Amino acid sequence: MSEFRVCPDSGFYFHKSAESLMKVNAVVGIVALLVAGILAIGVVLTRWQEVHLLPADMFYMVLTAHGINALLFWCIFFEMAILHFASSTLLRCRLATPRWGWAGFFLMLIGAIMNNVAVFSGKSSVMMTSYVPMQAEPHFYLGLILFAVGALIQVFVFFGTLVIAQQEKTYDGSVPLVTFGAITAAIIAVFTVASGAIILIPTFLWSVGYVSHIDAEMYRVIWWGMGHSSQQINVAAHVAVWYLIAGVLFGARPMSEKVSRFAFLLYIFFLQLASAHHILVDPGISAEWKIFNTSYAMYLAVLASMVHGLTVPGSIEVAQRAKGYTKGLFEWLRKAPWGNPIFSAMFISLVTFGFIGGITGVVMGTEQINLIIHNTIYVPAHFHATVVTGTTLTFMALTYLLIPVLFRRKMFLPWVAKMQPYVFGGGMTILILFMLGAGTLGVSRRHWDMDFAGAAMAFEYPAIAYTLMAVGAIGGLLAIVGGAMYLIVAVGSLLFGGKLEPSAGILESFAGKPLHASVYNINKPARLEMAPPLPEDHNKGGGFEAPGTFALAILLLVTFVVYYFINWKYLSSVWPLG
């Protein structure tokens, strides 16, 4: 029976089981984003001190749910769709063990719902990090455990698909770069889940009374093995999607397969003890351990991101120059399709992730500088630049690509989609920059009341801190509008978007539903061939292939260096410690 279809617009092949798993993972991810986005309204309007919307208990509950739904459920569900896409679709291979795939998906779904039930009952307002000895309800931890196990199963279905693709020789040569990036994300996911299991299972047993004590410091060290690594899954996945979008929109070829793949490999090798970044001001951790485990002597994971930061836009520049956009340094960029939300979302993501997320992350992950940043609102500002304008905006770009390709629907309200990346990216950038400023003034993260109303002793932040928080909140509201625009387009397209072929539908390709023979008419896709050969003079010339990108990279470096040393200067002004 023919179980494959080919998308006539993009040429991508879809195996029915992989296709339906991609759909459900993506849709549930988007629902988690919807929940997180609604909760964001409460967070933003409470931290805007002049509005101060929610009471304390409600605020902490909302903040807990916002963090978990956005950071874990939205990102990881969507990443499962990306994994199946990068294996089954890109390699033109049937999905390995579809039933296990479904089992993994349902475990994740049950876990996510269970965790949300625990949080919304109001008795598990422990924040995403759930630091012991503060205790949540048992099903808070159990939900996370089920979610993690489900994710692990889907990751192994991904690995299994790769094995089948290799054995059945569905592709020639090595796996594509995008698939290589997805493999990176999947490998990081395995040790993320392992760290999570090591700490969450005993914590669950502690919450039901079988374990009497969990050491608070040990919890922090191991929990962050999950908490930090899970964000590295996001980075690997969204960088892979950047390469995909550069390929789809521009026909861009990686500047060098070797360099880009090596950069992905560095992520795997040099992220292992990433929890070190989170315990820089904790008791009893030796300086040598912290210095080594945050940098491995040369920050090779940072190097990897700096490499992708050059090669992704560089590959676009090379492709654009080949099309004749060769004037000056930046004609290739000016003439890029800024009205196409796939491109604008991806490029805004690239710039904000590099210039804001990357730089602030390295600065605050520096052993001593962490003293003036730890647990201030600078921290969420940093990770909104990585996970929101970085990962989330990239996944939004991918959604715009998948609506016609995967769901075979026309985009609903395309003019809304066209503006969406600017509204969302712009609003979020305002939020981030002003929160960075407030954090520098010492404003605390995860804090209900910067007035400290009712406290026995008074403390007042400078007036400017209130202004920064208020402007940041306005940016946050703008970003929420941008998020709503995305949801309207995404959900609207699935429900009301015109069908690109009569059989197209959300439920198409699901088991139990007869496949349309006119669409699912491929028994075995043609073998995926290697990319067209490189030109004879590839990389042999003396000049720069992408001078505009190089100029941008130098700008990034200068910004990085200046900002880095500003922070050392600031550190030198505080009380001497030893």
Partner 1 sequence: MTSFMPPADRHWWKVPVGKQELIWIAIALVWCIIMFLMMPLWHVYGKQNLSTEAYQTTPAKFGAKVEEMVEKYTVGEEAGIPIVAPPVGSDIYMLGRLWQWYPVLKLKKDQEYRLHLSSMDFQHGFSLQPDNINLQVVPGYDMVLKITPDKSGEYGVICNEYCGIGHHLMVGKIYVED
Instruction: Count the residues of the shown chain that bind partner 1, applying the rule CB under 8 A.
Output: 120
Segment near partner 1 (CB under 8 A); pick from 26-34, 37-45, 193-201, 300-308 = 300-308
Nearer of residues 514 and 578 to partner 1, judged by Cβ: 578
- Which range of residues in 31-39, 225-233, 280-288, 337-345 is near partner 1 by CB under 8 A? 280-288
From 49, 97, 272, 375, residue interacting with partner 1 (rule: CB under 8 A): 375
Cβ pair 22, 84 in contact under 8 A: yes
> What residues pair up with 409 in beta bridges, in sequence order?
499
DSSP E strands in 27-148: the ranges are none
Q: Does 90 bind partner 1 (CB under 8 A)?
A: yes
Q: Which of residues 344-363 bind partner 1 (CB under 8 A)?
A: 362
How many Cβ atoms sit within 10 Å of the Cβ of residue 377?
Answer: 28
Among 49, 368, 503, 559, binds partner 1 (CB under 8 A): 368
Site string for partner 1, 303-332 (x = CB under 8 A): x--xx--xx--xx-----------------
Q: What is the maximum alpha-carbon separation in the chain?
A: 76
- Residues in region 180-219 near partner 1 by CB under 8 A: 215-217
Residue closer to partner 1, measured from CB, 190 or 300: 300
Nearer to partner 1 by C-beta: 449 or 501? Answer: 449
Within 13 Å and on the Cβ side, how many CA atoms surround 335?
17
| 371 binds partner 1, rule: CB under 8 A | yes
Residue 276: DSSP 8-state: G
Which structure tokens are listed for 109?
Answer: 């779904």
Q: Which of residues 56-75 bind partner 1 (CB under 8 A)?
A: 56-57, 60
Structure token pair of residue 88? 């089954």
Asked if 298 interacts with partner 1 (CB under 8 A), we say yes
Would you give the DSSP letter of residue 44? H
Q: Which of the stretches 140-148, 323-331, 504-512, 541-549 binds partner 1 when contact is defined by CB under 8 A?
A: 541-549
Per the CB < 8 A criterion, the answer to whether 203 and 115 are in contact is no
Binding to partner 1 (CB under 8 A) within 238-277 occurs at 243-244, 246-248, 251-259, 261
User: Smallest gap, in angstroms, from Cβ of residue 423 to partner 1?
Assistant: 28
- SS3 for 358-422 is HHHHHHHCCCCHHHHCCCECHHHHHHHHHHHHHHHHHHHHHHHHHHHHCCCECCCCHHHHHHHHH
Query: Would you state the structure tokens that stand for residue 571, as one six-digit string?
Result: 């550190």
Query: How near is the Cβ of 1 to partner 1 at its closest, in Å?
Result: 27
Phi then psi dihedrals of residue 567, to 5 deg: -70, -35
Sign, CA torsion 279/284/287/290: negative
List the one residue from 71, 114, 233, 372 that touches partner 1 (CB under 8 A): 372
Decide whether 275 or 420 has the Cβ nearer to partner 1: 275
Cβ closest to partner 1, residue 9 vs residue 217: 217
CB atoms within 10 A of CB 364: 22
* Shortest spacing between CB 106 and partner 1, in angstroms: 29
Question: Which of 6, 103, 194, 300 is close enough to bind partner 1 by CB under 8 A?
Answer: 300
- List the one residue out of 294, 233, 288 whose CA is nearest residue 76: 233
